[in-house]
Amino acid sequence: MFSLDKNDVTNSHAMSIRFNPYLKRTEWTDIAEYTEKYYLDFLKGKDYGELIITNVYFYLEETPDFSLQKDVVNLSTVLSIPKIAILNIHFDFKTFKALSKKKQNEVAINTILYLLKYWQNNLKIPKHMNIDELVQDFETHLKNNNILMNKKELSEIIIKITNPFNVTFSKHKLIGVDQKGNPPILFNDSELDIFFNTRIYNMDFGQSVREIFISYDIFDFENKEVLEKYFNNDIEFKYGKNKDLFIAHQFDINRFIYDDDYLDQTRLGQIQELHAGILEMILKINSMKRKPKFLDVEKLYDVVDKIFLEFESKL
């Protein structure tokens, strides 16, 4: 992969490209390397202003995690951290995989143009970076080399989430659960995050909220000492300026250990307990002192209910 020499300022724009960056190497790495070289070769001898490193992450996942599409442009140079842009995009797994290797390379190259245009119109731009000229020149270059794809053709392959609705699950306190996981909690938050966000990312629940953080505690309600120390009868809500809503709930660990017949609780049973508690949390959003003005709580309730039911049906 390309590494930027801080003494080399001949390229005013540098780029590193990776497929599924959480993996060291994939079967698609050679496409990333080809695309990176193609773009850097295009830049040779050109000057588009202020130097900025750009990391591009292509995601090719059978079960896509759209929460990964969080683009960042950092223009601060505090502590000598270089200015950097991080751009993310998904390819439709089946469509991309069915293409020839030549076409996959062309798609990857056209996706760079797409991301540059996305950056041009939606993200912060360095003051002295001439991104308009860069985009125009790169598009002309692709056209002259007969590899420029039209918008309709490319849109059938790429998936770019410009303003995704996102849900994050997080266990806050597990009181009475030891380091070995006894008693066992038979699910993890990351699988819930992915399952929910692949289904909810393009939904609209009103202008007020774009991200919900669901935090929950699990402890023994029958332990008086623990109950007095940790129990909070008021469900907590926080609504921030960044359109993020924080909601919290507390669960009795005994409901996660035993079912109504005092038999060992199953993975499905634990998810159903979580399901019921979170729906209760959502209903109480309307009682918030400072609640989101344009949040469709009823729609959110129905969608979360349906997604949980779908998750449970697969267990």
DSSP string, 182-215: SSPP---HHHHHHHHHHHHTT----TT-SEEEEE
> Rounded mean pLDDT of 211-229?
79
Domain boundaries, the chain: 14-159, 166-313
Confidence (pLDDT) at 136: 97
Main-chain phi, psi angles of 258, to 5 degrees: -125, 145
Q: Contact 126/52 with Cβ under 8 angstroms?
A: yes
104: left (phi over 0), alpha (psi -120 to 50) or beta: alpha
Name the residue type at position 72: V
Structure tokens at 276: 């019921």
Confidence (pLDDT) at 220: 79
Pairing state between β 211-219 and 244-252: parallel
CATH of domain 166-313: 3.40.390
Provide the 8-state DSSP code for 129: B
H helix or E strand, kind and range, residue 314: none
Per-residue pLDDT at 206 exceeds 80: yes
> Rounded mean pLDDT of 195-217?
85
Contacts by 254-261, CB closer than 8 A, 24 or more apart: 254/220, 254/221, 254/222, 256/183, 256/185, 256/218, 257/183
Structure tokens at 7: 């003494």
Pairing state between β 166-174 and 84-91: unpaired
- Percent of the chain topping pLDDT 70: 86
Confidence (pLDDT) at 114: 97
> Rounded mean pLDDT of 49-68?
88
Confidence (pLDDT) at 17: 95
Looking at per-residue confidence, does 3 or 304 come out higher? 304
Q: What is the pLDDT of residues 163-204, one digit of tens each?
A: 778 888 887 667 766 555 566 788 888 888 888 988 888 888
* Closest CA relative to residue 93, chosen from 167, 26, 35: 26
Q: At a CB cut-off of 8 Å and minimum separation 6, what does 310 contact? A: 199
> Rounded mean pLDDT of 10-38?
86
Confidence (pLDDT) at 185: 81
Query: Where residue 10 falls among pLDDT bands split at 50, 70, 90?
Result: very low
47-61, 68-82, 83-97, 134-148: segment of lowest average pLDDT? 68-82
Q: What is the pLDDT of residues 225-251, one digit of tens each?
A: 766 776 665 556 677 666 788 888 888
Q: Which residues on neighbouring strands pair with residue 264, listed in sequence order? A: 258
Per-residue pLDDT at 99 exceeds 60: yes
